[in-house]
Structure 1
Amino acid sequence: MRTKMIHTALACALLAMTATGCSKTLKAEPKTPAKLVQIQAPMTVLQLQLEQRLDTDGKIPRSLKLNKKMTTDLQVATHGDVFFAASEGGVVSAINATGKLWSIAVKDAITSAVALSLDGKVAVVGTHSGKVVALDANNGNVLWAKSLPTVSYTPALVSSNRVLLSGNNGTLYGLDRATGDVVWQFDTQFSTLGIIGAAKPIAIDRDTAVFGTTDGRIHALNIQTGVPMWTRAVGMAAGGSMTDHLKDVDAMPLVVGSRLYVTSFSGPFVGFDMTTGQKMFAKPIKSLTTPTHLGGMIVVTSTSGDVTAFNAITGDVLWENKELKYRKLTNPVAIGNYIVVGDFEGVIHIFDTSGKIISREKSKGRLTSLQSNQNRLYTQTQAGVVNVWRF
């Protein structure tokens, strides 16, 4: 995750006031969220198994409390039947079906959470002061804590011996997993006008990680050394307003076999063939969320609230649903033969493969992102409530 807010150091013009105290704002055209239409004969797809309110030690800076338009995306991480979650108020917990296994306060507001190593041994979070904290996933003990010159608003990538993360200053960092020391850093063409946050880095093979950045590009770097391997342009600035110039790649790219799918704030949505390095298609859709795939389709939620399914090879539109306009949708997730998305009122919308909404569920507070693992859907709200649903 990330915190979705526009910033510019040059003009100090923001969509909402940040901690720097700038008073000028960009006034977006009011967008009225669509009213939900009652579903006739709704199906039962999700069953609530656990509702857990996360602990907090109250360590949220006053500037973040005052900034109601900042949406911190604190993602749940899973390993087996255990999930790891963090509250904005600074507490990380490991939880299973019987309750909390451990909790620890990191004594600062948490801005990025939770990154978990593939072996399930190390959990990593980032804080408002720029600290990166690595925890023993078995007991919550602090393995190390290191301070960076910037804050990160998106989960890290924890590989076998590196912790990779995107700083909000446009720098990509590779830390030693055992010590937290900075092994390498890579500076991108940082834009002073962009979304606060960046895409979570992902590994596309054992040696290569992909980062999305505010310059509208994706960068592939060697995980061990940080040496750049290739770069692809995705986001394109268009129009005359300040927001029209935003081209951030703010969502984690999606890898399906040898294909890479990337969204950007300004558009387009792009599919790449990684075997040739060529674009398969580019579609004019604006998005701040990671796509999902189901069968031969890729599903994207747009910034305006449209949910669209594309052919995974050609990019042709298979279906489009416009019933959730301006409801601030989360990333879509595939569960079984269905697609689910969440919204700002905590509603989970369930689509069938034709794009029809066939069911809904409700959680407490604005949903920030969805994750699924095996036959479980994990939802976390801005209010610090995690629900586990069985499908």
Structure 2
Amino acid sequence: MFIKSFRPFAQSLRAPAAIILVATLAGCSTFSGFFGGSAKKPQPAELQPVVALVPARQVWSARIGEVTFPLQGNISGETLVVASNDGTVAALDTRTGRDRWRTSIGAPIAAGVGSDGKVAAVVTRANEVVALDNGREIWRQKLAAQAFTSPFVAGGRVFVLAADRSVNAFDGQTGKKLWAQQRPSEPLVLRQGGVMLAVGDTLVVGLAGRLTGLNPLNGSIRWEAPIASPRGVNDVERLVDLVGHVGRNGNTVCARAFQANIGCVDAQRGALLWTKPANAAQGVDSDERYVFGAEADGRVLALRRADGEPVWSTDLLRYRSLTSPLVVGRSIAIGDSAGLIHLLSREDGSPLNRLTTDGTSIAASPLLAGSTLIAVTRAGGVYGFAPE
């Protein structure tokens, strides 16, 4: 049965912020950014030497094409699936970085990659969902709107969250459209990946400022929990979107609403546990005690998962355009615009190590496959690091 195979797993990570808004419906205006004028951009914090208290070394590297869309790499077992602008989709062995398969879908990619270890799915800039089975295209279907969130593949189905606030479900093998859930759309949305994951037999999706639990069999709404509500007097001020990635521990899902709040929800009951004001565009991660995130100015912080109260914060990485964090052992790993992966202590935010890539921005939240930490850069470098 579908419900038995629709098992939960943690969704990995999100891309660095794209403060770009796009219209999704006919007649809507396009907004290209929040920040204008000639204000001088703050300079990134100067990095101090760091003692490698958590030793790690690069064990492999690979290359794909340039990555400027909101990439979400996907790890299933010992396979990493990644994609690049030019339509390349590649499955790499997480132990060696070698190709398991590599193909081109023949069209530029706008969102991806989702995979259940067999079927991988991406969305093209022409609004087509493309599904691959071990690197072989098996179907493609047209969407009614753009999509910036990686498809979610589970239970023999491919789920797609589009920018018009619709969720679409397709049969994983045939591409047949099974159902669609449409929520009221708004004039502006983020050109950035959103939230979609499974918790038990519920598909949990970020729709505007709400986490919403859907029945994956028919798309019916089981519950809604507000992380943030629209505010302000114009479309820009009223923009509310949940951004990936999220922190997941058991039934608790913690998420960020763009430049508004961080909040946690009991995804079994659909109950909001708490929200706290926070100002950033990147997602969060969590462990059994804390929720970790990076604010818009690069301040990295930890909140208590039980109630959202602050535990610690650090300014060591201010204005370094940080990714979403990833919990790794006793560290959190977070990428920056200089191609560095910073390992910070989960206990107090102190630096534990700093790993280098190719000098271009880290394109997505770091990933973890077993004990291998993986980073993908905007230039298309894929790097595997392992403890010494």
Runs of 5+ consecutive residues of structure 1 not aligned to the other structure: 17-24, 57-69
2:132 to 132, 135, 142: 135
Q: Is the contact between residue 201 and residue 210 of structure 1 (CA under 8 Å) also seen in structure 2?
A: yes
Q: CA deviation at 1:179?
A: 0.9
| Residue identity opposite 2:175 in structure 1 | G
Whether 1:35 and 2:33 are equivalent positions in the alignment is: no
Distance 2:43 2:174 in 1: 47
CA contact (8 A) 1:90 1:105 kept: yes
Identity of aligned residues (%): 23
Specify the alignment match of 1:307 in structure 2: 300
Paired residue total: 364
* Alpha-carbon offset, residue 71 of structure 1: 4.3
In the alignment, what sits opposite 1:382?
Answer: 378
Q: Distance in 2 between matches of 1:219 and 1:363?
A: 37
Deviation, 1:276, is 5.0
Q: Which residue of 2 aligns with 1:22?
A: none
TM-superposition CA deviations, 1:206-225 (whole Å, max 9, x none) = 2x111113x32222111110
2:368 aligned partner: 372
Whole-Å separation in 2 of the counterparts to 1:181 and 1:308 = 44
Match status 1:225 vs 2:218: yes
1:51 aligns with 2:61: yes
Question: 1:117-172: CA deviations, max 9, x gaps?
Answer: 1xx211111111111111112xx111212222223212111111211111122211
Are 1:13 and 2:38 an aligned pair?
Answer: no
Partner SS for 2:242:
coil
TM-score after normalising by structure 2: 0.87
Give the direction of change, closer, same or farther, for the CA distance of 1:163–1:40 in structure 2 (3 Å limit).
closer
**TM-aligned CA deviation for residue 254 of structure 1:** 2.8
Find 2:285's aligned residue among 283, 286, 292.
292
Q: Secondary structure at the match of 1:101?
A: strand
Out of 224, 248, 256, the residue aligned to residue 249 of structure 2 is: 256
Comparing 121-130 with 279-288, greater Cα deviation is found at 279-288
> 278-287 or 105-114: which moved more?
278-287
* Pair 1:161–1:286, CA change in 2 (3 A): same
Contact 1:7–1:15 (8 Å) recurs in 2: no
CA distance in 1, matches of 2:302, 2:287: 9
Verify: 1:110 aligned to 2:106, yes or no: no
- Verify the 8 A CA contact 1:108 1:127 in the aligned structure 2: yes
- Residue 376 of structure 2: SS of its match in structure 1? strand
Consecutive unaligned residues of structure 2, counting only runs of 5 or more, are 1-13
Residue-by-residue CA offset, 1:63-109 (whole Å, 9 max, x unaligned): xxxxxxx9412222222322221111111112221622321111111
Deviates more, 1:2-11 or 1:260-269: 2-11
Give the CA deviation at 1:240. Answer: 5.8
Which whole-Å CA distance do the structure 1 matches of 2:230 and 2:368 have between them? Answer: 33
TM-score (norm 1): 0.86
Deviation at 1:7, TM superposition (A): 2.8
Report whether the alignment pairs 1:150 with 2:168: no
Give, as a single letter, the amino acid of the residue that structure 1 aligns with 2:64: L
What is the rounded CA distance, in whole Å, between the counterparts of 1:10 and 1:134 in structure 2? Answer: 30
Pick the aligned partner of 1:363 from 349, 354, 357.
357
Who is 1:85 aligned against? 82
